[in-house]
Amino acid sequence: MTEHSGIDCRIALVTGAAGGIGTAVVRALASRGAVVAAVDKDPAGLADLVEKSAADGLKAVAFPTDITDSTRIEETVERIESELGPIDLLVNAAGVMRSGSLVDMTDADWRAIFSTNLDGLFHSSRAVAARMRERGAGAIVTIASNAGRIPRMQMAAYGASKAAASLFTKSLGLELAEHGIRCNVVSPGSTDTEMLRSLWTTESGRQSTIDGSADAYRTGIPLRRIAEPGDIADAVVFLASDRARHITMQDLCVDGGAVLGV
């Protein structure tokens, strides 16, 4: 792979690219010289991302795709490699969250979470990893969540999907290690994105997240701040770079200490 200002990839594929963390990852990689294939099921969001990136001299190419459809993601990966070149890095940033009591959750809500957070992860990783294995090089980083590390009220399905995503990625890393491919996880805590803000029902939502809630058995954030998407992107860039060349099957928690190191 060609080294570009600290990131050792020429072509990167980022799923969930139109989301808050996904967009930050796209821009962080592109600013270090990578050409980024931006994948999301939101064409308008991708178009906005590509336009703003181009205005800043960054190269991102939109590939609208629903990763829950295995046929479509296979076709998209083939198209990316044909049009841009071999994929050096896959960042699985696509994810959905629906909160609520587990016993009141509908089948549709459950499937919506797992179809993206786990099925989509499998489809994207399988399509890219098969090609990386043939070349004997590459890196994969999955965005999970600190909700996959400890029980959270109203978050059973989301937390379970992210715990599964972490173990899936580590297992994939074990299978691919002999081919020189590293697979790691970044687990964000509360990050200033639309997903987090949708949980705030009052003006005190931000401060309540920082403070935690004894009634909900939720710790606060010891560093006393909400993460910015760029904080998560920086962790991804590190794990994708040659500085992490001997790191694989690890889960880096970026949550300001919210789960107390668990």
Active site residues: 158
Q: In what order do the strands lie in the sheet with 11-15?
A: 60-64, 35-40, 11-15, 89-92, 138-143, 181-188, 251-254
- Residue 120 DSSP class: I
Q: Rounded to an integer, what distance in angstroms lies between the CA atom of residue 88 and that of residue 121?
A: 17
Indicate the DSSP class of residue 218: B
Distance CA(248)–CA(243), nearest Å, equals 12
**How far is 60 from 49, CA to CA, in rounded Å?**
8
Residue 103: both structure tokens together? 């016993």
Cβ-proximal residues to 206 (8 Å cutoff; 6+ apart), any chain: 200, 226
One-letter-per-residue 3-state SS of 142-162? EECCHHHCCCCCCCHHHHHHH
- The residue length of the chain stands at 262
